[in-house]
Amino acid sequence: MKRSCFLLTVLLLTLALASTLAAQSRRPNVVWIVAENANLEFGCYGEKLVSTPNVDRLAAEGMRYTRVFSTAPVCAPSRSAFMTGFYQTTTDTHHMRSHRSDDFRLPEGAQPLTHRLKEAGYITANIKQIDGEVVGTGKLDLNFVNEGPIYDTDDWAALKGSQPFFAQINMPEAEYDIYDRKTWKKQRVQWVGEDDPRLPSIATPENVTPPPYYPDHPIVREEWARYLNTTSLMDFHVGRILRQLEEDGTLEDTVVLFFADNGRMEPRGIHWCYDSGLHVPLIVRWPRNFPAPPQIQPGAVNEDVVSLLDVTATTLAIAGLDRPAGMHGRNLLGTDVGPPRTYAFSARDRIDETQARVRTVRDRRWRYIRNYPPHATVATLNRYKEKCFLIMPLLRRLHAAGELDGPPLALMAERAPDEELYDTHADPHQIVNLAASPHGEHGEALLRLRAALDTWIAETGDRGHIPEPPEVVAPFTQEMHDWFGTPTWHRP
């Protein structure tokens, strides 16, 4: 009898150990829900004129980060950074839509995140549809095209029974509908989903408050309301993804990261290195079937400074993989996270045909911006923005009529200052440039952030000082003219 009890005890302990080891060897799925051109206009971040119950649910059940900044204020360089975990300025992927037709390869040590995950046994997917319903664009828009297939599939059904999996879903919103380029000049500029009957109309031209760097004008109010309402439509797609994870029985085996590729869709947002172009949401929801890292508490808020490329190292850590040597991104979760960042660095270089070089650094309070020749401004010609952003021709018309003053007039400056410094606590819209009056704590911040940016440029091997050959840039001017036309005021 005693021998039988002993053998039974040994058997139960063996089974328990086997179960524990099996649980430890399991790895969670990871889903990236990537918003297009979004700032913090969600209910969980305090915006009242949107309906975002699904994003708000992620925040209530996970961790919401409040100081996350993309490494570029436009999609392709930013995506090239967070898909590798290296600054785009280091890997020579910093110009918008570069290296699409040459033999460029990523430098040694840098590789797509999905390749690292695939080597570790993950199936990877870039999802467009779920059961025939469009939920994503399938967008890649990476400044490297010779690394081989980035994903295994775009079929959601392929993920069922294929754990662990990594899936990226790129939201259609918020973006302008510019895809029918053959008949573009005959079309009205539209936001993606503007005619969708599911689009809520919570925001209206009458109840919105656009940023004060724009004139109080009906066109500005209409555009701001359209942006907020497309954010609400985006949330509809987030809900569809979460519902499918629940129906498949994989939600509680899946870490969901919700973030945006760059800042919001507005003339002084996307393309420019203010918070409006760089400040992005980040929410991490942890599944119940895996022990949560100590940082994750449902409904918690993290106010540390975070670079968007930190999602790369964090995703590797979720998958049980070490951060590769030299990777610029940092892991945010677990026991091996290191000290929080003091600074988030970002950069803007050529976008389409518009040449500019801007570098910036942000801490918890201050934003410092350095503008290099040709000292481009919001008023510098970019044909895409002239055609799609209805506020741009409005600004030019009002400026020509002498009807702009204050911050809206400043947008039309022909030359950017060498340096800009903003106190984001006192001046959240970054209107008052303090760099010209470096006194007291302003002066201390200017010196400190100036030195931090110099150090980052040197340590990361920033390639922004290397000009693109004229023969590389010239085709973009022709391409953008063919797509959007050239305004009469700028034609030779």
Say if residues 27 and 319 touch (Cβ distance below 8 Å): yes
| Integer Cα distance of 215 and 391 in angstroms | 9
Each residue of 136-166: pLDDT tens digit?
A: 999 999 999 999 999 999 999 999 888 899 9
Q: Which residues of 408-417 are buried (b: 16+ CB within 10 A; e: fewer)?
A: bbebeeeebe
Name the token pair of 179: 């895809």
- Tokens 């879903």 -> residue: 169
C-alpha distances (whole Å) from 470 to each of 58, 353, 474, 477 are 47, 11, 6, 11
Q: Is residue 237 part of a domain?
A: yes
Domain with 250 in it? 27-490
- The pLDDT score that the predictor gives to residue 184 is 44
**CATH number, domain at 429?**
3.40.720.10
Which DSSP state fits 142?
Answer: -
Phi, psi (rounded to 5 degrees) for 469: -60, 145
Each residue of 295-342: pLDDT tens digit?
A: 999 999 999 999 999 999 999 999 999 999 999 999 999 988 878 999
Beta bridge partners of residue 345, listed in sequence order: 361
- Tokens 């910093």 -> residue: 94
Q: Is residue 254 part of a domain?
A: yes
- The pLDDT score that the predictor gives to residue 489 is 87
| Integer Cα distance of 440 and 183 in angstroms | 56
Q: Is residue 5 part of a domain?
A: no
Say if residues 86 and 62 touch (Cβ distance below 8 Å): no
Q: What share of the chain is helix, strand, coil (3-state, %, to 5)?
A: 35, 15, 50
Name the token pair of 472: 């590389």
Lowest-confidence segment of 29-33, 195-199, 285-289, 441-445 by average pLDDT: 195-199
Each residue of 457-481: pLDDT tens digit?
A: 999 999 999 999 999 999 999 999 9
- The pLDDT score that the predictor gives to residue 21 is 38
| Integer Cα distance of 221 and 411 in angstroms | 17
Which DSSP state fits 341?
Answer: B
Q: Is residue 8 part of a domain?
A: no
Q: Which residues of 37-71 are buried (b: 16+ CB within 10 A; e: fewer)?
A: bbbbbbbbbebebbbbebbbbbbebbbbbbbbbbb
Helix 53-61, helix 218-248: angle, nearest 10: 60
- The pLDDT score that the predictor gives to residue 191 is 83
| Integer Cα distance of 124 and 127 in angstroms | 10
Q: Is residue 13 part of a domain?
A: no
Say if residues 243 and 58 touch (Cβ distance below 8 Å): no
Say if residues 486 and 383 touch (Cβ distance below 8 Å): yes
Number of domains observed in the structure of the chain: 1
Torsion angle of C-alpha atoms 81, 82, 83, 87, degrees rounded to 10: 20
Q: Is 89 helix (H, G, I), strand (E, B) or coil?
A: helix
What mean pLDDT comes out for the span 107-115? 97
Each residue of 372-407: pLDDT tens digit?
A: 999 999 999 999 999 999 999 999 999 999 999 999
Q: Is residue 16 part of a domain?
A: no
Q: Is residue 386 part of a domain?
A: yes
Q: Is residue 2 part of a domain?
A: no
